[in-house]
Amino acid sequence: MEKASLCHRNTPLPLLNRPSNFLQFKHQNSFLKFPNPNLHRLRRLNCSVSDGTVSSSLGATDSSLAVKKKAAEVSSELKGTSIFLVGLKSSLKTSLGKLLADALRYYYFDSDSLVEEAVGGALAAKSFRESDEKGFYESETEVLKQLSSMGRLVVCAGNGTVTSSTNLALLRHGISLWIDVPLDFVARDVIEDKSQFAPSEISISGSYPEDELGALYDKYRVGYATADAIISVQKVVSRLGCDNLDEITREDMALEALREIEKLTRVKKMQEEAARPF
């Protein structure tokens, strides 16, 4: 995949003012660019934009086959509509996004990762976020503007995406799902990788971060609740009758997500049919 670049311009240019092999968005006097999925053959799930790794054994188990079967059933009604995943960042949310993309034959993107690639890597993005957090979130909005105009995408949105009314409007271009993961799950991921949250969101000094995550969850939950459907780990546990949250797999979550997507597409179809003149 072509490496994203940061191109400085002295004169502002209109966003995507001509056909290009790149998407680009403006931040102050710079244009951030990343490969255009409509013009390039992108890496799908097995070599994703986010981290490029996933098990190659998908499809070998009954649950994986069930996911693929349900995805095939949903695809005809979905008609290429993009899917946006909101909620606190977690390995489960990321893994679910990749699995859905693979099952639906969609492209997978992580909005934070796209901004990172655009500014020159994780370290540059970290510096950018710490020095100009508002600018970072504006950049993420520009990414969402680009992605929301396309189809056949599964997009993992950043933690605070829902704090912007502009972003919420952009999410309406597709189907939005709140991936509601228990805070102790998220806390485990934070302990392993502290860089996934901005310093203003959570500060970790060796202590267990669940309390801070709880405050963050409360801050964003109103925005998360505007999603078209909630995919809750607790709900899946209850439905399957599991004794332990750790028994839930990403395939279980994917089936739950696909069922909700199926319901949403059916409702939309009924609404369209009801609106037709006699």
Return the residue matching tokens 């001509």. 18
Contact criterion met (CB below 8 Å) for 24 and 8: no
pLDDT score, position 207: 57
pLDDT score, position 227: 96
Contacts of 212-221 spanning 24+ positions with Cβ under 8 A? 213/88, 213/183, 213/186, 213/187, 214/183, 216/88, 216/159, 217/88, 217/183, 220/88, 220/159, 220/160, 220/162, 220/163
User: Rounded mean pLDDT of 1-10?
Assistant: 35
Q: Which of 105, 133, 5 is nearest to 46 (CA)?
A: 105
Tell whether 139 is covered by a domain.
yes
Q: String of b and e for 218-247 (b: at least 16 CB within 10 Å)? A: eebeebbeebbbebbbeebbeeeeeeeeee
pLDDT score, position 194: 62
* H/E run at residue 142: helix 133-148
CATH code: domain of residue 122: 3.40.50.300
User: Rounded mean pLDDT of 144-165?
Assistant: 91
DSSP state of 85: E
144 lies in which domain range?
80-264
Other C-beta atoms within 10 Å of 15: how many? 13
DSSP per-residue letters across 203-240: --SSS-THHHHHHHHHHHHHHHTTSSEEEEHHHHHHHH
pLDDT score, position 67: 94
pLDDT score, position 197: 67
Q: Give Cβ neighbours of residue 273 (< 8 Å, ≥ 6 apart).
A: none
Can you tell me the distance from the alpha carbon of 124 to that of 230, in angstroms, rounded to the nearest whole number?
33
* 153 pLDDT above the threshold of 50: yes
Q: How confident is the model at residue 72 (pLDDT cuts 50, 70, 90)?
A: very high
* 130 pLDDT above the threshold of 60: yes
Tell whether 27 is covered by a domain.
no
Tell whether 47 is covered by a domain.
no
Highest mean pLDDT among 2-11, 97-106, 183-192: 97-106
Percent of the chain's residues with pLDDT above 70: 72
User: Rounded mean pLDDT of 152-156?
Assistant: 96
Q: How confident is the model at residue 231 (pLDDT cuts 50, 70, 90)?
A: very high
* 257 pLDDT above the threshold of 70: yes
Tell whether 2 is covered by a domain.
no
pLDDT score, position 44: 37
User: Rounded mean pLDDT of 88-93?
Assistant: 92
* 3 pLDDT above the threshold of 70: no
Q: How confident is the model at residue 203 (pLDDT cuts 50, 70, 90)?
A: low
Tell whether 270 is covered by a domain.
no
* 192 pLDDT above the threshold of 90: no
Tell whether 213 is covered by a domain.
yes
Taking the model in full, what pTM does it have?
0.76
Structural domain count of the chain:
1
pLDDT score, position 274: 78
Percent of the chain's residues with pLDDT above 90: 40
> Which of the residue ranges 21-30, 117-126, 192-201, 233-242 would you say has the lowest mean pLDDT?
21-30
Average pLDDT, the chain: 76
